[in-house]
Structure 1
Amino acid sequence: MDRDTLAAQADVIITITSCFEPLLTADQSRPGTHIACMGTDTAGKQEIDPAILAGAQVFTDAPEQARTIGESQHAVAQGLIAADDLRAIGEVIDAPDSLSRPADAITVFDGTGVGLQDLAVARVAVERAAEAGTASEIAW
């Protein structure tokens, strides 16, 4: 399947690359989609079109890093979003009622790779896999 077809059908899109050019354009994104950009943070990195961020609710685990070397860097540099448009995900976790998301809103999570959070997510994933009987233990 091509990217246009996949993007048209997806409710959630996760990018985990070290790209320096957009894999997903604004024309390919559709209302209501959640996009998680988890690829390597570095100056110049880019997985999605900055225009997507211009019309999206943008969340991150580390706002300063996201706006300087994360997925949001291009949209901020081009003036498509303001640096303070990046909402810390911790704010939403602490006050979930503060989040209002229309059904047609595009949301973007600009994940910067906070190690402690990665470990916490990995632990939950392993626990759920074990509960479901799908976990495998590998001897190192």
Structure 2
Amino acid sequence: MPRLMLSNAFWSKLEKILLQETIYNKCNLRMTVEGMLYRMRVGCPWRDLPKAFGCWNSIYKRFNAWSSTKKWGRIFKALTIDSDWEWEFIDGGYVKVHQHSSGTVGQEAASHREKPCGEYHEDPFGR
């Protein structure tokens, strides 16, 4: 069975939001959502979803229906209202960077490639 993404605590929050969106609470709703998230995380074709999530075609049809009716947008918006901001980063400007990762004032950025010397020819044999 593939690794699941949603903890039980998070699923209980998400399930309430799904029910508010008039999504029918079938017995396999959690595995359907897990299958959608698995596909987004892995990037596999719908047909390659592991059978543990259920029928790939049913999961695809439900994902497509929720997308076309804008339910995903409303679900994500509802999730941001009560989100955990512990790991949220507004800007990465305060994160220290290695001194060679960017150029100094008035100089080009550091590069490990040598600059080409000589002429550039389209044909290496000079024809």
TM-score, structure 2 as length reference: 0.29
Pair member with larger Rg:
2
Q: Which structure has greater strand proportion? A: 1
TM-score, structure 1 as length reference: 0.27
Name which structure has the greater RCO, CA cutoff 8 Å, separation 6+: 1
